[in-house]
Amino acid sequence: MILNCSFPNKILQLPCCQASNTTIMAGYSFAIYHHNKLHDEGHTFNLDTTDILDPRLVSVLKNVPCLRALELSYLEVTPSSLQPLLFGFSHVSLLEELDLMLRLCDAEMEFLPVVLSSVPHLAVLRVGETAAGIASLAPHMRHLVRLRELCISRSDISDTDAKSLAASLPTFTAMQVLVLVWTGISPTGMCILVPALCQLTRLIKLDLSYNKIGDPGLECLSAILHHLTAMKVLVLTSTGISDRGISSLIKALPHLEELQVLDVSSNDIGDTGIVSLVQTLCHPSTLDTEQNPPGDKSLTAGPHYNPTLQVLNIGWNKRVTGAGLGRVAQLISALQALTVLDMSGESRTIGYSYTPVHLPDTAAMSLAEALPRLPALEGLALMHISMKPAGFQAVVHAAEEHPTLERLHYCNLGVNVPEGADTTASCLKLS
């Protein structure tokens, strides 16, 4: 049973059936429905409303005590509508999943703490675009001992906020997913959070994208990754890291034996860092002697490549050249579980001149030879890469012959696609 409260189309969808597990979503509507028109197999009818926080929404919250998940996205909560909405929340204490991305104005500081105190069974909390400081919210989260996913996006986490969040994180012993995206975490803030993160031993996903933690922040994080051996997804997109930071991550990688997704895209990493990273993923045992404490053989028993890595995003790094990508192409076939590989270049624009990263024929041929040895590969991104005709055709042909590769993403700007090259391959996606 689903209630969709949609803004800005002002549509209120109210289900006319009952269910034990109920979800209410309030967000953008992608279709405009007619008044009281029955819709699809869910037997949903729609009521036009002029105010998204219509009394009927509060009525639904009051009369659906079994509600398990609620999404309130891009809605405007004013002081006049605050109290009725808080009254509605007081009736959904069994809520397990809450997604809040609201325009709360001055009412926010009062709204969020009261809501969090009303939902003690919450397991998933996503908060975005909140002006309220995390320092003011964190104390009201500590009773959420069942929390397994916390996502905070587009909300400023200052160093002071980081201290407050760090004090709360150890409470969440069931935490599996922590997403802190576009939150302004500094290198200092990252180092403040690290001691708390190392206690989240069940963590399987950590996403720190678009926070300029820099090399010092990554060094602090890498130092405790041996405590987070359950980690499957590590996302470090656009975090301001370079070869220095990557070298610290490389030392910790052999401990992440369950790693399935690694994203270090859109950073300042160069050829040395990228090649060393891929070499370590392909041959982690080469670092065994250096990484193992005396007498510890725990890192020598595994295979000579990462058998679990499925997604590797190393593209869009400013200092990676065609020579570095060529070396990656020679190594990459060892990662036989890969389904997605992003090796895109970072284009250089000087004035009106667009310069992609050039992949020499020898490197292109190495990539073409590697593709058949990646039996699970489904997607390959080579954006902002240029190749000569022979190299381009070899890569496209290898991609087209691959039994599972469905998408080869390539940029058709300027000189990227060689003149006269055959671009009819079904897997080739030009943009």
Retrieve residue 214's tokens: 């820099």
> In this structure, which amino acid lies at residue 291?
Q
Rounded CA-CA distance 124/374 in Å is 36
Decide if pLDDT at 245 tops 60. Answer: yes
User: What is the pLDDT at residue 6?
Assistant: 42
Q: What is the mean pLDDT of residues 157-167?
A: 92
Q: How confident is the model at residue 105 (pLDDT cuts 50, 70, 90)?
A: low
Task: Summarize pLDDT for 387-419 with one digit per residue, the tens.
Answer: 999 999 999 999 999 999 999 999 987 678 998
Lowest mean pLDDT among 125-134, 227-236, 331-340: 125-134
**Long-range contacts of 222-225, Cβ-Cβ distance < 8 Å, separation of 24 or more:** 222/248, 222/249, 222/251, 222/252, 223/194, 223/248, 223/252, 224/194, 224/195, 224/197, 224/198, 225/249, 225/252, 225/255, 225/256
Rounded CA-CA distance 170/195 in Å is 9
Q: What is the mean pLDDT of residues 150-158?
A: 89
DSSP string for residues in 180-228: EESS---HHHHHHHHHHHTT-TT--EEE-TT---HHHHHHHHHTTGGG-
Grouping H, G, I as helix, E, B as strand and the rest as coil, residue 334 is helix
Rounded CA-CA distance 366/330 in Å is 6
**Long-range contacts of 103-110, Cβ-Cβ distance < 8 Å, separation of 24 or more:** 103/74, 103/75, 103/76, 103/77, 103/129, 104/77, 104/130, 104/131, 104/132, 105/76, 105/77, 105/78, 105/79, 106/79, 107/77, 107/78, 107/79, 107/82, 108/77, 108/132, 109/136, 110/82
Retrieve residue 148's tokens: 């397994």
Average pLDDT over the chain reads: 82
Q: How confident is the model at residue 15 (pLDDT cuts 50, 70, 90)?
A: very low
Task: Summarize pLDDT for 268-282 with one digit per residue, the tens.
Answer: 999 999 999 999 999
Which residues does 133 contact at the CB level (< 8 Å), separation at least 6? 156, 158, 160, 161
Decide if pLDDT at 293 tops 50. Answer: no
Q: What is the mean pLDDT of residues 331-359?
A: 88
Decide if pLDDT at 154 tops 60. Answer: yes
Q: What is the mean pLDDT of residues 58-81?
A: 75
Cβ–Cβ under 8 Å, residues 249 and 269: no
Cβ–Cβ under 8 Å, residues 83 and 107: no
Task: Kindly state the helix (H) or strand (E) to which residue 281 belongs, with its residue range.
Answer: helix 271-282
Lowest mean pLDDT among 26-35, 349-358, 388-397, 402-411: 26-35
User: What is the pLDDT at residue 144?
Assistant: 93
User: What is the pLDDT at residue 89?
Assistant: 85
Cβ–Cβ under 8 Å, residues 415 and 385: no
Decide if pLDDT at 83 tops 70. Answer: yes
User: What is the pLDDT at residue 147?
Assistant: 96
User: What is the pLDDT at residue 42?
Assistant: 35
User: What is the pLDDT at residue 137?
Assistant: 79
Q: What is the mean pLDDT of residues 176-192?
A: 96
Task: Summarize pLDDT for 188-230 with one digit per residue, the tens.
Answer: 999 999 999 999 999 999 999 999 999 999 999 999 999 999 9
Decide if pLDDT at 30 tops 50. Answer: no
Q: How confident is the model at residue 349 (pLDDT cuts 50, 70, 90)?
A: low
Q: How confident is the model at residue 77 (pLDDT cuts 50, 70, 90)?
A: low
pTM of the model: 0.85
By percentage, how much of the chain surpasses pLDDT 70?
75
Q: How confident is the model at residue 376 (pLDDT cuts 50, 70, 90)?
A: very high
Grouping H, G, I as helix, E, B as strand and the rest as coil, residue 2 is strand
Lowest mean pLDDT among 152-166, 186-200, 365-379: 152-166
Q: How confident is the model at residue 297 (pLDDT cuts 50, 70, 90)?
A: very low
Query: What are the structural domains, with CATH classification, of the chain?
Result: 241-431 (3.80.10.10)
Decide if pLDDT at 316 tops 70. Answer: yes
Decide if pLDDT at 2 tops 50. Answer: no
Q: Identify the top-confidence range among 100-109, 117-126, 263-272.
A: 263-272
Q: What is the mean pLDDT of residues 106-115?
A: 69
